[in-house]
Structure 1
């Protein structure tokens, strides 16, 4: 993908020389990056653009240049991922048992669609507690980890026509990289609503309500 590097960012890279970035490609002007390289540059740019969590001493202009790079990269990465996934048929890559009657299935590919409202027994619904075993929530906890690129799919959509869960978009996607990129690219719109039902406030709250021990290590990295 093509990314434009500003003079301010070029100067930053020259001074910092971060060896974990593809510096041989990051010259001032338009450069070509692979999707993996773009993600590395994005992670670095997001850190440096963060007023609260990034470097304490940084000129405002430099921080704004990083913020502009973040915006550019998010749009480019999201567009590339949507284009790639739309060409792939849904493929099951992992199946994990979650009790005698349930399983957690990982699917890649598909059209990249999403649900507009939580389904009738969506696990994010407060009135749907105990519809699924605790083990299912343990298996899926990674979607709530910071910068996760895995999303939480609607179980009613099935494996052949996977769609991102509406409850997840409303309550669990704030720190999910795939969701953030999806909103920036236009893959997800502002038409997702709770349909008038009460939802759990976070993945952690949902998992605990469904039987996962609050002290379970699998929940520790979850962002609320």
Structure 2
């Protein structure tokens, strides 16, 4: 998981420089759990339970300070947001929206690109398929 930025005090002249970019993958990797063509079982149910708070839904967005879903290929301490997660659930994460507003993330990062693999439509669908999680609770 990637911790999100906390809200900061009012900007000063020294802090008005362009903020650092939000690290993220550009394309879903071959084992990305958001891909429909990836066989289930790569990660256990407990991992999907732990990551559920990274993904909101319309009207119930993930909070600004909620962690972001990191690519499993990211090095610990150098996590990058998962491209599949950004394309499917990023818009329902207030921290992602804030990163776009602050210029830390190109809005195109939250869109499926040309030639992308077929992705699940929601966290609930992905977790149900990949982790055996009941999407209805």
**TM-score in same-fold range (> 0.5):** yes
The RMSD of aligned alpha carbons is 2.8
1:111-150 equivalent positions in 2, closer than 5 A: 112-130=22-40, 131-145=42-56, 146-148=61-63, 149-150=66-67
Aligned residues: 117
Give the superposition deviation at 1:174: 1.5
1:140-219 equivalent positions in 2, closer than 5 A: 140-145=51-56, 146-148=61-63, 149-189=66-106, 190=108, 193-194=112-113, 195-210=115-130, 211-216=132-137
Secondary structure, aligned partner of 1:113: coil
Q: Do the aligned residues in 1 keep the contact of 2:53 with 2:62 (CA within 8 Å)?
A: no
Distance in 2 (alpha carbons) for counterparts of 1:175 and 1:156:
23
1 or 2 for the larger relative contact order (CA 8 Å, sep ≥6)?
A: 2
Give the superposition deviation at 1:161: 2.2
**TM-score, normalised to structure 2's length?**
0.71
**Large movers: runs of 4+ above 6 Å:** none
Give the superposition deviation at 1:156: 0.6
Q: Do the aligned residues in 1 keep the contact of 2:70 with 2:82 (CA within 8 Å)?
A: yes
- Which residue of structure 2 lines up, in the alignment, with residue 101 of structure 1? none
1:74-113 equivalent positions in 2, closer than 5 A: 83=19, 112-113=22-23
Change (3 A) 1:160 1:147: closer
Distance in 1 (alpha carbons) for counterparts of 2:125 and 2:39:
11
Q: Which runs of 5+ in 2 are unaligned?
A: 1-5
- Which residue of structure 2 lines up, in the alignment, with residue 8 of structure 1? none
Q: Which runs of 5+ in 1 are unaligned?
A: 1-33, 39-75, 87-110, 217-224
